[in-house]
Amino acid sequence: MLKLRLVLAALALLALDGGALAHGYKAGSISIEHPFANATPPAATRGAAYMKLANQGAEDDALVSATGAVADKIEIHQTTVADGVVSMRPVPDGLTVPAGAHVDLTVGSYHLMLIGLKQPLVAGQRIPIVLSFRHAGDVAVELAVEAPKDQAAGAHAGH
């Protein structure tokens, strides 16, 4: 009986460790930390995804595109505020991740825009997408769908 408990405890520990590791990814010199998307209302056609991109390499790299079955298309966007007016625009040439630095994709800044959602994003889901970097290449990641932390975080869901 003790052996069975030890085996079950070891399996539980491995499951927890695997879950923790599954939320950090690496492609070449680029690491991707905590990729997530906010849950969306049932009728939403758009969603947003966020993460931290870190470049441990000696040369700049760039996130140039993202794809996934979750939406018709995924674009890299930047939100800016000028004279009190908030605007959002695509970043068509890619998002540079400088050598030895990191870029945060976060609310009110850079983010991935999931356009033409095929289904609502529900808290607790894990959504597979592929990030493509100019030098590091493609890396498959899973977005952990989380409940929005505040109203601003869910602002993309309806537009």
Q: How far is CA 98 from CA 58, 83, 90, 93, 142, in A?
A: 9, 28, 19, 15, 24
Q: Residue 157's pLDDT band (boundaries 50, 70, 90)?
A: very low
Domains of the chain: 24-158 (2.60.40.1890)
Overall pTM surpassing 0.95 (yes/no) = no
Burial label for 132, CB within 10 Å (0-12, 13-18, 19+), is middle
pLDDT at 116: 98
Q: How far is CA 128 from CA 67, 84, 118, in A?
A: 9, 36, 13
Q: Residue 148's pLDDT band (boundaries 50, 70, 90)?
A: confident
